[in-house]
Chains A and B, each alone.
Chain A
Amino acid sequence: MTDLSNKGIFGEFTKGFWKENPILVMLLGMCPTLAVTTSAIKGLTMGLAVLFVLTCSSLIVSIVRNIIPKQVRIPTFIVIIATFVTMVDLFLKAFLLDLSKALGPFIPLIVVNCIILGRAEAFASRNRVILSLLDAVGVSLGFTVTLILLGGIREILGMGTFFGHVVFGPRFDQWVIMLLPPGAFITLGFMLGAKNIIDRKFEEKRKS
């Protein structure tokens, strides 16, 4: 059980943004993070897809948590998650075909995204419905914001645009490497470094 008096309901919601950010701190869900963030809009779509899947599966897992026998809980979680992922995939194919094509197999790969299984196992299967929902929404919003940031940096440097709007003039020399796989690894590496620096600054401030 989580310590309520310590964090409070609001704490469950906000921890996903910074202190327990799924990407920057827990290093979960790296595959979609690196693969789809060639532009901010793709990052946003991926984040929203994860938001839907994580929220719905946390809700269901939390409701049925006392009925599932311990031995078969992981397969049950995976089947629940896979069902919602199929729904998102069909939705994207029906209404946003271009984005669905651009994201390719990374929408179905949400099934094995460790963030979702991790939250189901570590949180939703042990907590009340309302807390699980807050936790799920908080964590996936933290995920989404990080994806937009990473996608934004890569889009701005790689194409000179942000959400399709031109940021730099036509004279801007595009850094094509940012759109290719090495750019993803290196940008995320430096984002982790930046987070460490900011954390240390806060630590020093608190001490003095």
Chain B
Amino acid sequence: MEVFLIFISAVLVNNFVLSYFLGICPFLGVSGKIESATSMGFAVTFVLTLSSAITWLINNYILIAFKVPFLEYVSFIIVIAALVQFVEMFIRKMSKTLYDTLGIYLPLITTNCAILGLALFGALRKYGFIENIVFGIGAGIGFTLALVIMAGIREELDLADVPQPLKGAAITLILAGLLALAFMGFAGLISA
């Protein structure tokens, strides 16, 4: 039950993009088309799931075991960068189609703050191994959900009559605000 709560909380209530503001750059940059939003979402979910497992192991068996928690940020970011590189090579070998779909989004994931944010939140909240992985999957699905909804709205926006000064990034931010307002309605799902 505990694990299920973590999952729902990461997907809906504390959505990474709309309530923690993690991964805003790709959220604004790649939400123009539903197709690319979906690819980006899958790529991020994949890396989030893997990195949640690996950073947990590193945090518990290396950093805490050897009493060097101040190396947290340096080691996390190196692991994430290496992981993204590795995933990229792996996907290219295994499935050419998937690689072409994800394209340039893969290397960009290194600087996506959702990945490092997840590792830091996981360490801060002292989740267990399974809980941390579920948290990672939930965060990834929540990110994908927000990205795809936003892309859907922006595709419709092309037909709308937006005031001249608000065109482009400004209206996207205001839309994100309204979307965040809607997601706040999920807050009642989980008490405390």
Contact = CB atoms under 8 A, between A and B. Distances in A.
Interface of A: 27-28, 30-32, 34-35, 74-75, 78-79, 82-83, 85-86, 89-90, 104-105, 108-109, 111-114, 117, 177, 180-186, 188-190, 192-194, 196-197, 200
B116 A185 contact: no
| Those 7 A-B pairs whose CB atoms lie nearest each other, nearest first | A185-B177, A189-B173, A186-B177, A189-B174, A192-B170, A35-B21, A196-B165
Given A31-B22, A86-B74, A186 B184 contact: no
Contacts of A35: 20-21
Contacts of B117: 31, 105, 109
> Which secondary structure dominates where chain B touches chain A?
helix
Interface in B161-176: 163-174, 176
Contacts of B116: 108-109, 111-112
Query: Which DSSP category, helix, strand, loop or mixed, fits chain A's interface?
Result: helix
B6 interface: no
Interface in B57-115: 70-74, 77-78, 81, 110-113, 115
B189 interface: no
Given A79-B74, A111-B73, A182 B170 contact: no
Interface of B: 18-25, 28, 70-74, 77-78, 81, 110-113, 115-117, 120-121, 124, 163-174, 176-178, 180-181, 184
